[in-house]
Amino acid sequence: MKAKEVFGSIAGLAIMLGMMAISVLVLTFFIKGGIWLSQRAMPWAFAISVIAFCIVVFFLLPLAIPRKTRGFSSASIFIASYLFGVTLWMLGLLLSYAIWGWTGVVIGILLGGVGVIPIALLATLIKGIWAAFFLLIGLIIATYACRIGAMHLAASLEDRW
């Protein structure tokens, strides 16, 4: 092997290791920032989700019955599903971090970001933290029930013709 090829291989390896180090630092920065933000925003997100749930149940579902207000109701319920989803994700992130630390969070993030939710479910199930486990289950149900229900409501407006 020539010295030029050896130098090229070493330089390529150094660049690859440097890029991996930068990726780890960026990932650590975003995870720490996500945890920091979730810790501060979670009380607000939870309160907003409770209010949104009450609005969905007591106002938007009855508004979904008449055809004239079904579009508004459908769009509003769909927006509420995203509020529930954000609250669910933040709770999953915080529970994963609180119970299993960085390992749980990194595994959850590597599972596509939303993996913190199944990791939090598993962690609370193993630790027997039932209130948190059922809160996660309730938020999952609220998120997907609202999203699917809103899509069905919107589709019912199109079926008329």
pLDDT tens-place string over residues 133-160: 999 999 999 999 999 999 999 888 886 6
R_g over Cα of the chain = 22
Collapsed DSSP state (helix, strand, coil) of residue 128: coil
Per-residue confidence in pLDDT tens, the chain, 161 aa: 676 777 777 777 888 888 887 777 777 778 888 889 899 999 999 999 999 999 999 999 999 999 899 999 999 999 999 999 999 999 999 999 999 998 888 888 888 878 899 999 999 999 999 999 999 999 999 999 999 999 999 888 886 65
> What global pTM score does this model have?
0.80
Q: CA 7, CA 95: separation in Å to the nearest integer?
A: 47
Among 71, 42, 73, smallest CA distance to 55 is for 73
Write down the domain spans for the chain. 41-158
Residue 1, pLDDT score:
61
**Terminal alpha carbon distance of the chain:** 74
Q: CA 5, CA 9: separation in Å to the nearest integer?
A: 6
Residue 28, pLDDT score:
73
